[in-house]
Chain A
């Protein structure tokens, strides 16, 4: 069963605390992504990982870092969370088919920073 799993689904943190969001996929996809989704905006790319220890900044990497030590796991870390990082975070993995890249998304983590 092709799946991208995100943990936790909901998280409440205080400003300044560290945050760890985890993502796993069971499809052996090389490429994985972290996005955030805010009301009225399209998904914004935070980081992309092309494989283990091969990570690149996306459009809004400031305040975030990532870790990919195994192909099936991709973590997003917020060191000292800020209130403007309150958002819904989506992880995705991708497969490049005959026509175009296909993304598989997790169900998201809703993070609230107080």
Chain B
């Protein structure tokens, strides 16, 4: 059973618009949640990690929230650029160390058009 669900599956926005990506999970325990960006044909690159019960992070035009009570996270992308076209993957870790397991979502494919 999939423990990390991302929505929407795909999203098309115009350059300059804002967008919000959602991640719901059932992983227990939920030590941390990380968002990755995967460009087509490339590996995953970490954007941000959230750790606290109710957490917020900001990394340039990317900002993220986590609510562990709701087991829900959002990734906001402000003023999208063509280079933001990629798949965004939500990953929940059940421990803070390598002895834990990482649970990957299937990703949201974001396409930014001119």
Contact = CB atoms under 8 A, between A and B. Distances in A.
A108 B43 CA distance: 6
Contact of B106 (A4, A42, A101): A42
Contact of B104 (A4, A42, A99, A102): A42
A99 B41 contact: no
A105 B41 contact: no
B49 A99 contact: yes
Contacts of B102: 45, 101, 103
A40 B93 CA distance: 20
Nearest to B43: A105
Size class of the B contact interface (CB-based, 8 Å): 20 to 34
A94 B107 CA distance: 21
Contacts of B53: none
B32 interface: yes
A114 interface: no
A45 B32 CA distance: 18
Contacts of A48: 98
A52 B45 CA distance: 25
Interface in A37-64: 40-45, 48, 50
B25 to A, nearest CB: 11
Interface string A86-104: 0000101010100111110
Interface string B7-29: 00000000000000000000000
A96 B97 contact: yes
B43 A101 contact: no
Contacts of B105: 42
Contacts of B41: 107-108
Nearest to B104: A42
Interface of A: 4, 30-31, 40-45, 48, 50, 90, 92, 94, 96, 99-103, 105-108
Interface of B: 2, 4, 31-32, 34, 41-46, 49, 51, 89, 93, 96-98, 100-107
